[in-house]
Amino acid sequence: MAPRILIVDDEKDIVDLVAYNLEKEGYEVLKAFDGERGLALVRTKKPALVVLDLMLPGIQGLEVCKRLRRDAETASVPIIMLTAKGEELDRVIGLEVGADDYVTKPFSVKELVARVKAVLRRSGAGTQPDGTEVFEFRGLRIDMRSYEVTVDGRRVTLSPTEFKLLHFLSRNPGRVYSRDQILDKVWGDESFVEPRTVDVHVRRLRAQIEGDENSPTYIVTVRGVGYKFAER
């Protein structure tokens, strides 16, 4: 069955163009022209990925993203945010509220399709168990079979990219990875992803699993180098 992609954007020409190109690649496409309709379609049609414009009539894109991430039934749906060209703050905020990736307008349709494929790869077969199906450390439990994360028994809902980032770092406690190394291992060969994206995802991940983000228990910053998972 072809993966189902939902496009949420109030510009019909853009929606139709993106839909045409995604359908050529074999995807099933759903369309919504406002945030409220987009939220309804995510809950009823359960798409494999959402392409979400930042500026929407009614419920704005950022609020749509927040609501999807707060709802356990929709929290794991990958989201690619569309933002205005040059609006770095919007891109950072989009990632911080839970978007997996972003594309700036005007954009190349080929680039957007490539990002859709890349995010789907990360959310699908991206995180495979490497011998250890359950990882436990200081109250943190990562179940690779069910893609569930709990902290002191409390279930934590992560985006697909956040889960893959946590899984990658936890596989080698104490080993320091640079931002470029993390990009290579978690995002793969996506040359359009900026190193700052790593910082934003780490910050969001910490907000979900750390009791004190300023004194993290699990993901530790190594100044001037990158990040590591705490040693046992």
Residues in the chain with pLDDT values less than 70: 1, 85-87, 89, 124-132, 189-192
Residues whose CB is less than 8 angstroms from the CB of residue 182 and which lie 6 or more positions away in sequence, other chains included: 165, 168, 169, 198, 226, 227
H helical segments located in 160-195: 160-170, 179-182
Determine the angle formed by the axes of helices 109-123 and 160-170, rounding to 10 degrees: 50
Beta-bridge mates of residue 158: none
For 87-128, how does the pLDDT look when each residue is reduced to its tens digit (9 = 90+)? 676 777 888 888 888 888 888 999 999 999 988 887 763 344
Report the relative pairing of strands 226-229 and 177-178 from DSSP bridges: antiparallel
**Dist CA 34 CA 36 (whole Å):** 6
**Predicted pLDDT at 129:** 43
**Dist CA 128 CA 167 (whole Å):** 9
**Dist CA 103 CA 128 (whole Å):** 27
Residue type, 174: G
**Predicted pLDDT at 226:** 93
Q: Mind listing the domains of the chain with CATH numbers?
A: 4-123 (3.40.50.2300), 134-229 (1.10.10.10)
**Predicted pLDDT at 144:** 82
**Dist CA 81 CA 96 (whole Å):** 11
Q: How many CB atoms lie within 10 A of CB 57?
A: 10
